[in-house]
Structure 1
């Protein structure tokens, strides 16, 4: 009879709980829509940069998460823990969550897929660079057939 994923703030996409050292004061979020750690939770985005202090304390690194345009509910809703989460520590969690705002019924004998890409980086990544990575990912392997 299938499976019903009820609308919920977690589930269905790609998520990552980050390094235990990344807290409210040393990590950040920037989405394709210009939201930050304080405003991104529950919003939709094509991509999201999560970055923080490097493990050696001498710089920054992070991950650019990208959702493909063919994914369900793209641009996708996200779950990002509040900056005061976990007793005020502000631990970092990110997830693309296609069931965040509406349920999703998975029917038997049908094929489903979600496509994501992550770019892991040292240093910093700005919005223009993130958008260029996303544009490349979104247009990859597109073939146009022309009948003559």
Structure 2
């Protein structure tokens, strides 16, 4: 089998298509969640913590310096941990939403009952039961 045929079989499998749809929806919903976290959730949290804007939280390792004309001569070197906190909140919200979606999907999935045994299997079971009873 040629590599193109193998790729075609792989690409049209249901799991691959489902994964592609999930990636597209995940990217789109990620933007929505980021907006919700940045614009709705984090401002009240920042106020509760004393007028803090999380995206501005940082540890300055080396301060920057300005020239006489006000232009930045040396850039500030800092660890921006506030953005990390905000990204973690984004992640937790996205993970929770995905959890709820998967949980709802699993609830709607119906367990398929096992298939009815064939006539041959029924006959073999009858023979087995008859042999057990004869002992």
TM range (shorter): under 0.3
Q: Which has the higher helix share?
A: 2
The higher radius of gyration belongs to 2
The one of the two structures with greater contact order (alpha-carbon pairs below 8 A, sep at least 6) is 1
| TM-score of the aligned structures, taking structure 2 as reference length | 0.24
| TM-score of the aligned structures, taking structure 1 as reference length | 0.23
Q: Which has the higher strand share?
A: 1
